[in-house]
Amino acid sequence: MKKIIALVLSVVMVLALAACGGQKAANMPAADTEDNAEAATIKVALLLSGSRGDGAYLDYVCAGADKAAAELPIELKVLEIADAADYESNLVAMADAGYDVIIGGSTWFAEPITTHAAEYPNVKFIELDGVAEGENVVSVNFSFKDGGYLAGVAAAMLSTKTDIPGIDGAKVIGYVGGIDVPTLQWIEAGYKAGAASVDPDIQVLSAYVGSFSNPTTAKELAIAQIDAGANVIIASAGGSGLGVLEAASEAGVYCIGFDQYETGNYASSFFTTVERGIDSITYDVIKSITDGDWVGGQEIVCSVENGYCSLSDMENFKSVVGEAFPQDIPDRIDEVISQMKSGEIVMKDE
């Protein structure tokens, strides 16, 4: 009988201990979970060579970063830097402040990143729209001629559509660039090649503003091209592009944007825009870090082939011209994109 009582007492004690153990596990403090979540948050600094609100390139960069901040475990800080002399000091300041990821938001940060990346081996650097050197650097570049080529095809075809108001059939189209640098020269070269593929006799008028934030001068250059016969002009000019849109609107002709989606009050003259996938690639590279797929020391080139570069859907233009909308233009663009993806058409930025 004593043995039975002892056995029962032993079982009760075991059950009591088990219950206490289970209760302790159930009441583990939530602070551990919060600490882990906080530790998983990646601090990202995005450096802009200018300010949001350009309706073009910088707004695309910010859109990709903002999406990442909304969907991924990151803490985002955006620095709008007005003076080029401050690009390097701000980059170093963010690295010293303990940011895990520093994004140079334009080509102007390539040199500072190359200079300082090795000093901060635990920081991941992303250089957008340029190439920087370093084992802890991913550079994102773009096949500028791809976009220019697509725009040239579209512009040349539109210039023949005399049933559309403002198009007189002249074999003249225009190009207004921001700053005369190699990347914009590649866009211009692609634009001319695309136009020539439609009609080798077409004339392309070219001019450069000297700035990405001077719509007044851009408008003057566009007016000169319109006076010389251009019915379609591409604006590869950042914030200056609004000046080209304004000139096109006042003259009743049409504008193609490059990284430009803000049309202000000039939507009636907005034909299409070259989309380089800037917002998408900005998001994708940040996501590669949060997913653990980051590989430093590489250059990613966004192109038609890998699906980043295309023209916008022309829905705005369709609403402007109605039944006169030239469906053969988007059909031809789809065909050109297929040829680029297959390697039948190859554009090289060189």
pLDDT per residue as tens digits for the range 103-140: 999 999 999 999 999 999 999 999 999 999 999 999 99
Residues 100 and 153 in one domain: no
Average pLDDT of the chain, as a whole number: 88
Residues 104 and 229 in one domain: no
Match 């690009």 to its residue by tokens.
87
pLDDT band at residue 347, thresholds of 50, 70 and 90? confident
pLDDT recorded at residue 37: 41
Q: Is residue 167 assigned to a domain? A: yes
Residues 171 and 82 in one domain: no
| Domains: count for the chain | 2
Percent of the chain with pLDDT over 90: 79
Residues 169 and 199 in one domain: yes
pLDDT recorded at residue 1: 36
Residues 58 and 96 in one domain: yes
pLDDT at 349 over 60: no
- The H-assigned helical ranges of the chain are 2-26, 31-40, 57-71, 87-96, 110-116, 144-158, 182-198, 215-227, 241-251, 278-290, 315-321, 328-342
> Using CA atoms, how far apart are residues 189 and 200, in angstroms rounded to an integer?
14
- Average pLDDT rounded to a whole number, residues 50-65: 90
Q: Is residue 249 assigned to a domain? A: yes
Domain that holds residue 290: 41-142+279-302
How are beta strands 101-104 and 124-128 bridged, if at all? parallel
- Average pLDDT rounded to a whole number, residues 44-71: 93
Residues 127 and 92 in one domain: yes
Q: Is residue 151 assigned to a domain? A: yes
pLDDT tens figures, 326-345? 999 999 999 999 999 999 99
- Average pLDDT rounded to a whole number, residues 218-229: 98
Return the biggest CA–CA distance within the chain: 115
pLDDT recorded at residue 350: 55
pLDDT tens figures, 313-329? 999 999 999 999 999 99
Lowest mean pLDDT among 23-37, 60-74, 152-166, 286-300: 23-37
List the one residue out of 294, 313, 240, 283 whose CA is nearest residue 69: 283
> Using CA atoms, how far apart are residues 257 and 317, in angstroms rounded to an integer?
13
Q: Is residue 294 assigned to a domain? A: yes
Q: Which whole-number Å values give the CA distances from 293 to 40, 138, 170, 289, 296, in the listed order?
A: 15, 12, 51, 6, 10
Q: Is residue 36 assigned to a domain? A: no
Q: Is residue 170 assigned to a domain? A: yes
Q: Is residue 15 assigned to a domain? A: no
Look up the CATH number of the domain holding residue 258: 3.40.50.2300
pLDDT band at residue 213, thresholds of 50, 70 and 90? confident
- Average pLDDT rounded to a whole number, residues 144-149: 94
How are beta strands 203-208 and 172-177 bridged, if at all? parallel
Residues 201 and 323 in one domain: yes
pLDDT at 18 over 50: no
Please calculate the CA angle 76-242-212 and round it to the nearest 5 degrees: 60
pLDDT recorded at residue 12: 35
Cα-only R_g, the chain: 28
